[in-house]
């Protein structure tokens, strides 16, 4: 009954986790913005070219409801879309909407990937939405997001 | 005094219709309530699930007062999981001053305690279990334990859980899941499972150490298939999803928890499609409100046997065809669920929450002997009389309870801190007004494996932010983002709270030592049972001491403790502790 879901026929191209927030802190929003700062709005626009992405149930975004450790939050994105030569998922992007630099991962895919799936870990500075943005080969953008709670916990 | 019978609550619901019927039973006088009334049940179907949750290691009968304040976000307050007192009695149709009202609510608790006596105790539980096994045939009965069983009393702490495992074996537990069990640490959990006759199952605990062989593998069997009464029953285990945030991470280092609803759905499908079970059950420690969300999100579960939030729910809740039951806490109840399931389908069921009234249900003699044996090595320490209490000492309530206040008073007195934090977990004990306080009672309140009271420094702004963070774990409008406990208790501080406000904006008028909090000032903080010391600075290591020792010494010094039930929190958006659904007051 043991299973390794994460190994099930996946392949991800160049998933580079850009980790920016220096420490887990619920005061992240009070820190001065450094040269590396990039707001969610700016980061999203930089990828979409200011096109409005369509909220889509085709994106299965898997994140924990409450982070066990804000420094390593597992994120899995799976897109229910064909991967044909003329119709495929071109890229998957992950944003931590309230991090100083909200852009976490840009993964570029081709039909050779066979399946549009990405699994990574991101650092979250505080409770916030994690968003997965998907670009299709025809130039349209899809998006899905979910809130992840980062807490010191300890209520028993 | 009139008495109502639990059996008028019987639910006989036909699947697909979800209709609940209740017959009106004639009220009875006290002298007329008997074992027969407690046992009364309409035998149904081909097998029985017996259910226990949150025993918290209470081998002996105890007093346990249910909450007089149980407030949550406005969309949840007054719904099952957030019902108490008169609202609870009204929702479930309890007769005032009945045995059920005594067990299920705080109303008239002290008067009724004298009339009906203590609750629970494994020797009394055993008598009920054996009655059901005899009535139904032992081969047709499964006994399921939703966890929080191994931890919560002195005898559990002193034996590192072993005394409780022996009691579970005596009771004949078949399956269990866990939460506070994990605070004995991974290695000890495995040892105790080795001693346990029951199976320990959990689909939501997965290896998280990328250098270990079990990385991303299940730590326990996710489910089991049991045959009872000719039916194949698939039972999936769901341990407390937020163990690693609610309790110190070091106990479960390398294990990842979480709700894991995707895999839960996969196992439900696997049981139905590949194993052709007749009935799918989830044995859960998610909490009553979280499991209502689980039933909305995961399809194909017939029954969820819930735990964690300590709700006594006389009636099941049915959500999208999933029936959810929860059986209180501290051994006060056994849930009996008779099920008619065959050919892959549940046709009918009957449920009753059986109150373990220790004055009415005779003790099994082997159980009395076992409990005596388990306590014997610690009897001298446990039975030490520390002092006496003027008023009732109880645990529970959303913001404040008297036993917590006593603990905070003890900490403030010894640590000379500005403010103290103690945990809002929902287990403990009740000591009636005028009674002696035993060392056993102190362990019942704070016998944990990480008992240290830490004293350290925190900036005012950090304290304010932490309180908001804790409040959001308790009052988030989405049950999936709650951790199922009550607010941390504060010593030396008062505040106002608007529960329905958004995250980070609930608390106002926070005062420390009677003065408005100075956000720039550094305060001396004492805390136990949480992670706050990790956020603090300048830990005073020489002061660190176990909370049960601090409390013991304080009660001994005082001889008579006098804690009022006034509380230190003003709730802005509710005017009473147990408002009905959609209301902010009780009128």
User: Which residues span the domain enclosing B435?
Assistant: 383-571
* Cross-chain residue pair B485–A156, CB shorter than 8 Å: yes
Please answer whether residues B300 and B268 qualify as being in contact, where contact means their C-beta atoms are separated by less than 8 angstroms: yes
* Cross-chain residue pair A66–B481, CB shorter than 8 Å: yes
Q: How far is A130 from chain B (nearest CA, A)?
A: 15
Chain B hits for A65, Cβ within 8 Å: 241, 258-259, 480-481
B424/B338 same-domain check:
no
The per-residue pLDDT for range B146-174, each reduced to its tens digit, is 999 999 999 999 999 999 999 999 999 99
Q: Provide the domain count of chain B.
A: 2
How many residues does this entry show for chain A?
156
B333/B445 same-domain check:
no
B278/B329 same-domain check:
yes
Q: Give how far Cα B496 sits from Cα of A146, B84, B108, B512, B525, Å.
A: 31, 22, 28, 13, 20
Among A1, A5, A153, the residue with its CB nearest the CB of B473 is A153
Residue B483: predicted pLDDT: 81
Among A26, A65, A155, the residue with its CB nearest the CB of B488 is A155
* Cross-chain residue pair B259–A65, CB shorter than 8 Å: yes
Q: Is B237 helix (H, G, I), strand (E, B) or coil?
A: strand
Which ranges of chain A have pLDDT less than 50? 1-30, 155-156
Residue A34: predicted pLDDT: 65
Chain B hits for A6, Cβ within 8 Å: 216
Q: How far is B125 from chain A (nearest CA, A)?
A: 26
Which ranges of chain B have pLDDT less than 50? 1-29
In B, minimum Cα distance to A5 occurs at B216
Residue B232: predicted pLDDT: 98
Distance of alpha carbon A107 from alpha carbon A117, whole angstroms:
10
β-strand pairing of B436-438 with B522-527: unpaired
Distance of alpha carbon B469 from alpha carbon B412, whole angstroms:
23
Q: What is the CATH number of the domain that holds B296?
A: 3.60.21.10
> Structure tokens of B205?
């605990």
Among B222, B469, B480, the residue with its CB nearest the CB of A151 is B469
B403/B535 same-domain check:
yes
Residue B585 lies in a domain: no
Distance of alpha carbon A108 from alpha carbon A58, whole angstroms:
18
B388/B365 same-domain check:
no
Please answer whether residues B179 and B238 qualify as being in contact, where contact means their C-beta atoms are separated by less than 8 angstroms: no
Q: What is the CATH number of the domain that holds B419?
A: 3.90.780.10
Distance of alpha carbon B320 from alpha carbon B365, whole angstroms:
44
B247/B320 same-domain check:
yes
B296/B436 same-domain check:
no
* Cross-chain residue pair B246–A68, CB shorter than 8 Å: no
Q: Please measure the distance between the N-terminal and C-terminal CA atoms of chain B and give it in whole angstroms.
A: 26
B358/B391 same-domain check:
no
Best to test chain A binding among B148, B223, B245, B255 (most A CBs inside 10 Å): B245
Q: How far is A109 from chain B (nearest CA, A)?
A: 25
Please answer whether residues B125 and B171 qualify as being in contact, where contact means their C-beta atoms are separated by less than 8 angstroms: yes
> Structure tokens of A41?
């709005």
Residue B482: predicted pLDDT: 85
Distance of alpha carbon B142 from alpha carbon B172, whole angstroms:
9
Chain B hits for A69, Cβ within 8 Å: 244, 249
Residue B90 lies in a domain: no
B144/B175 same-domain check:
yes
The per-residue pLDDT for range B273-326, each reduced to its tens digit, is 999 999 999 999 999 999 999 999 999 999 999 999 999 999 999 999 999 999
Please answer whether residues B237 and B205 qualify as being in contact, where contact means their C-beta atoms are separated by less than 8 angstroms: no
Q: How far is A54 from chain B (nearest CA, A)?
A: 23
Contacting A with CB below 8 Å, chain B residues are 180, 208, 216-218, 221-223, 241-242, 244-247, 249, 256-259, 262-263, 423-425, 465-466, 469-470, 472-474, 476, 480-481, 483, 485-486, 488, 503, 529-532, 534-535
Q: Give how far Cα B557 sits from Cα of A84, B289, B413, B550, B554, Å.
A: 79, 42, 11, 11, 5
The per-residue pLDDT for range B7-38, each reduced to its tens digit, is 333 333 333 333 333 333 444 445 568 999 99
Chain A hits for B256, Cβ within 8 Å: 68
Residue B32: predicted pLDDT: 60
Closest to B174 measured CA to CA, from B156, B151, B201: B201
Contacting B with CB below 8 Å, chain A residues are 1-6, 26-27, 62, 64-69, 127, 147, 149, 151-156
Non-local (6+) Cβ contacts of B93 within 8 A are: B8, B9, B22
Non-local (6+) Cβ contacts of B36 within 8 A are: none
Chain A hits for B425, Cβ within 8 Å: 155-156
B200/B317 same-domain check:
yes
Residue B524 lies in a domain: yes
* Cross-chain residue pair A153–B262, CB shorter than 8 Å: no
Residue A11: predicted pLDDT: 32
* Cross-chain residue pair A155–B530, CB shorter than 8 Å: yes
The per-residue pLDDT for range B387-435, each reduced to its tens digit, is 999 999 999 999 999 999 999 999 999 999 999 999 999 999 999 999 9
B210/B138 same-domain check:
yes
B350/B407 same-domain check:
no
* Cross-chain residue pair A151–B473, CB shorter than 8 Å: yes
Chain B hits for A129, Cβ within 8 Å: none
Q: How far is A86 from chain B (nearest CA, A)?
A: 31
Non-local (6+) Cβ contacts of A119 within 8 A are: A6, A10, A12, A15, A74, A75, A76, A77
Q: How far is B546 from chain A (nearest CA, A)?
A: 17
Q: How far is B368 from chain A (nearest CA, A)?
A: 31
Using CA atoms in the order B134, B162, B187, B259, what is the torsion angle rounded to 10 degrees?
50
* Strand residues in chain A grouped as ranges (E): 54-55, 59-62, 73-79, 89-96, 103-108, 116-122, 128-136, 141-148
> Structure tokens of A123?
């650092």
Chain B hits for A155, Cβ within 8 Å: 246, 423-425, 470, 473-474, 483, 485-486, 488, 530
Domain A5-148 classification at class level: mainly beta
Which of B317, B348, B370 lies at the terminal end of a domain, its last residue?
B370
Q: Is B299 helix (H, G, I), strand (E, B) or coil?
A: coil
- The domains of chain A are located at 5-148
Residue B436: predicted pLDDT: 98
The three-state (H, E, C) secondary structure of B476-493, written as one string: CCCHHHCCCCCCCEEECE
* Cross-chain residue pair A66–B425, CB shorter than 8 Å: no
- Assembly ipTM: 0.77
Q: Is B105 helix (H, G, I), strand (E, B) or coil?
A: coil
Chain A hits for B244, Cβ within 8 Å: 68-69
Which of B370, B400, B426 lies at the terminal end of a domain, its last residue?
B370
The per-residue pLDDT for range B426-435, each reduced to its tens digit, is 999 999 999 9
Chain B hits for A151, Cβ within 8 Å: 245, 469, 472-473
* Cross-chain residue pair B481–A65, CB shorter than 8 Å: yes
Residue B77 lies in a domain: no
Closest to A26 measured CA to CA, from B248, B253, B467, B519: B467
* Cross-chain residue pair B503–A153, CB shorter than 8 Å: no
Residue B273 lies in a domain: yes
* Cross-chain residue pair A68–B257, CB shorter than 8 Å: yes
Residue B534: predicted pLDDT: 87
Closest to B206 measured CA to CA, from A64, A106, A35: A64
Chain B hits for A4, Cβ within 8 Å: 216-217
* Cross-chain residue pair A152–B217, CB shorter than 8 Å: no
């Amino acid at each position: 009954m043991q299973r390794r879901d994460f190994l099930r026929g996946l392949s991800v191209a160049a998933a580079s986790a850009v980790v920016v927030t220096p420490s887990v802190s619920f005061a992240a929003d009070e820190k001065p913005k450094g040269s590396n700062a990039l707001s969610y709005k700016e980061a999203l626009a930089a990828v979409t070219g200011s096109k409005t992405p369509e909220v889509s149930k085709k994106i299965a975004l898997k994140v924990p409801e409450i982070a066990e450790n804000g420094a390593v939050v597992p994120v899995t994105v799976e897109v229910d879309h064909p991967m044909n030569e003329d119709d495929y998922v071109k890229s998957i992007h992950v944003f931590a909407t309230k991090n100083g630099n909200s852009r976490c991962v840009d993964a570029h895919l081709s039909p050779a990937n066979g399946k549009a799936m990405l699994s990574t870990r991101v650092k979250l500075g505080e409770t916030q939405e994690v968003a997965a943005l998907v670009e299709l080969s025809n130039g349209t953008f899809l998006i899905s997001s979910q809130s992840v709670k980062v807490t010191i916990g300890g209520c028993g | 005094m009139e008495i109502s019978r639990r059996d008028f609550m019987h639910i006989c619901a036909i699947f697909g219709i979800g209709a609940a019927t209740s017959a009106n039973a004639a009220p009875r006088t006290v002298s007329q309530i008997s074992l027969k009334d407690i046992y009364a049940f309409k035998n149904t179907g081909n097998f029985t699930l017996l259910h226990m949750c949150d025993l918290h290691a209470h081998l002996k009968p105890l007093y346990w007062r249910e909450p007089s304040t149980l407030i949550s976000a406005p969309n949840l307050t007054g719904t099952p999981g957030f019902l108490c007192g008169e609202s609870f009695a009204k929702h479930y149709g309890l007769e005032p001053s009945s045995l059920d009202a005594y067990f299920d609510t705080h109303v008239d608790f002290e008067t009724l305690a004298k009339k009906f006596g203590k609750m629970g105790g494994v020797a009394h539980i055993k008598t009920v279990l054996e009655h059901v096994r005899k009535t139904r045939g032992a081969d047709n009965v499964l006994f399921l334990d939703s966890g929080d069983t191994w931890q919560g009393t002195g005898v559990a702490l002193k034996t590192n859980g072993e005394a409780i495992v022996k009691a579970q074996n005596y009771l004949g537990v078949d399956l269990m899941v866990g939460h506070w069990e994990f605070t004995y640490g991974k290695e000890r959990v495995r040892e105790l499972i080795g001693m346990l006759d029951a199976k320990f199952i959990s689909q939501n605990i997965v290896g998280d150490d990328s250098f270990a062989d079990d990385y991303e593998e299940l730590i326990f069997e996710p489910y089991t298939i049991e045959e009872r009464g000719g039916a194949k029953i698939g039972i999936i285990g769901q341990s407390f999803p937020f163990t690693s945030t609610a309790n110190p991470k070091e106990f479960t280092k390398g294990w990842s928890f979480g709700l894991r609803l995707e895999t839960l759905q996969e196992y439900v499908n696997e049981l139905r499609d590949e194993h052709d079970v007749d009935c799918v059950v989830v044995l859960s420690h998610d909490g009553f409100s979280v499991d209502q969300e689980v039933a909305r999100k995961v399809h194909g579960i017939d029954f969820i046997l819930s735990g964690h939030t300590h709700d006594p729910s006389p009636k099941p809740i049915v959500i999208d065809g999933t029936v959810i039951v929860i059986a209180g806490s501290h051994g006060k109840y056994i849930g009996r669920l008779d099920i008619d399931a065959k050919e892959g389908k549940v046709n009918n069921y009957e449920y009753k929450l059986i109150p373990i009234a220790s004055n009415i249900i005779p003790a099994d003699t082997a159980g009395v002997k076992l409990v005596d044996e388990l306590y014997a090595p610690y009897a001298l320490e446990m039975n030490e009389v520390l002092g006496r209490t003027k008023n009732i000492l109880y645990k529970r309530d959303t913001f404040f309870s008297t036993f917590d206040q006593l603990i905070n008073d003890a900490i403030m007195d010894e640590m000379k801190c500005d403010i103290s934090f103690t945990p809002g977990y929902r287990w403990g004990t009740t000591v009636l007004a005028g009674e002696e306080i035993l060392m056993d009672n102190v362990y019942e309140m704070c016998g944990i494996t990480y008992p240290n009271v830490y004293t350290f420094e925190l900036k005012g702004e950090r304290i304010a932010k932490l309180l908001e963070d804790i409040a959001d774990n308790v009052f988030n409008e989405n049950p999936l983002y709650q951790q199922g406990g009550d607010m941390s208790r504060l010593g030396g501080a008062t505040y106002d709270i608007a529960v329905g406000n958004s995250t980070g904006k609930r608390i106002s008028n926070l005062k420390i030592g009677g003065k408005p909090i100075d956000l720039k000032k550094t305060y001396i903080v004492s805390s136990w049972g949480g992670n706050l010391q990790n956020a603090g600075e300048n830990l005073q290591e020489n002061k660190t001491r176990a909370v049960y020792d601090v409390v013991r010494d304080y009660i001994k010094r005082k001889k008579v403790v006098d804690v009022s039930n006034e509380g230190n929190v003003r709730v802005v958006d509710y005017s009473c502790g147990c408002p009905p659904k959609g209301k902010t007051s009780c009128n």
